[in-house]
Structure 1
Amino acid sequence: MEMLRARAILLTALVGLALGCSESGPHRFKVTGKATFDGNVIPVGEIRFRPDTEKGGSGPGSVAKIQDGAFTMGLGLVPGPHLATIYGFDGVAFEDVSEGQPLFRPYTTSVDVPDEDIVIDINVPGRMK
């Protein structure tokens, strides 16, 4: 009987730990990709995804750093239509600006995130200064 009680306590503790470690909020999918400007890798930058509410998107957005053209959304993204805004810099530090000079004005484009992990490659068109 004591062994049965010990097993029940252990099982209850394990279930409690599993529930306590579960993700909260909507399910997100892994998003990675490449960001280029006029076909060239963006040395340093940032990409911000936010749900496109005008097309029915909802939920949290996410932000990632661009390094040598590559980015990975740390928390992932919820599925649906999003707006992606890209900020790119030349990576040549000066004074107190570690990112360098902007390569272009912030660029926004539409992206649909499916119900699965995805690779998204975004090219910012040239002549945007």
Structure 2
Amino acid sequence: MNFGCGGEKLYRVSGKVMFAGKPVPAGKIYFAPDGKKNNSGSAGYAEIVGGSFDTSAAGGRGTVGGPTVITIEGLDPAAKAEKADKSGEVLIKPLFPRYTKTVELPMSDSTQEFVVQIEPGTNPAGGAGGMIIP
């Protein structure tokens, strides 16, 4: 357990993110307290590397626990996007559209596994649809 801004308790969340039966090679996972369920505090986040994430790793931040809206962005570093941005930098192609799901995280350090599933009839490279199964 760590303490964030204002002394709020932050908990470590680590685990795996899977898509289409394989680990998500790269991306980000965000943990936002669900205000609709009276949860508040700072958002947590972590990098996804080789299908694993850890909010205590460099570039990460712990979560307050409780009702949480999780957002996952999965990227495929091996596949280049169709266009570079205006700076000429090559963009990384997303594996799937940004996904969100409300889950209940414990008020303690925890290990979680999330499986991103595409709903039938959606485009895994873009558009809406899909769900996360914790």
| Equivalence for 2:77 | 91
CA–CA separation in structure 1 for the residues paired with 2:74 and 2:15: 15
Write the mapping of 1:16-27 to structure 2, written as runs, cut at 5 A: 24-27=6-9
Percent same amino acid among aligned pairs? Answer: 36
**Shift of residue 116, structure 1, vs aligned partner:** 1.3
**Shift of residue 56, structure 1, vs aligned partner:** 1.4
Larger Rg over CA atoms: 1
1:91–1:116: structure 2 CA closer, same or farther, 3 Å change rule? same
| Equivalence for 2:39 | 57
Q: Which runs of 4+ in 1 moved over 3 A?
A: none
Counterpart amino acid of 1:76? G
- 2:93 counterpart of 1:101: yes
Counterpart amino acid of 1:46? K
Where structure 2 has 5 or more consecutive residues not aligned to the other structure, the ranges are 125-134
Where structure 1 has 5 or more consecutive residues not aligned to the other structure, the ranges are 1-21
| Equivalence for 2:117 | 125
Asked whether the 8 Å contact 2:45–2:62 carries over to 1, the reply is no
TM-score, normalization by structure 1: 0.74
1:34-62 CA-to-partner distances (Å, cap 9, x unmatched) read: 01112211011011110111111110001
Write the mapping of 1:26-65 to structure 2, written as runs, cut at 5 A: 26-65=8-47
1:44-86 CA-to-partner distances (Å, cap 9, x unmatched) read: 1011110111111110001211000000113311121100100
Write the mapping of 1:68-87 to structure 2, written as runs, cut at 5 A: 68-74=50-56, 75-87=61-73
1:128–1:72: structure 2 CA closer, same or farther, 3 Å change rule? farther
CA–CA separation in structure 2 for the residues paired with 1:42 and 1:31: 17
Counterpart amino acid of 2:76? D
Is the helix fraction higher in 1 or 2?
1
1:97–1:46: structure 2 CA closer, same or farther, 3 Å change rule? farther
Q: How many pairs were matched up?
A: 107
CA–CA separation in structure 2 for the residues paired with 1:117 and 1:44: 23
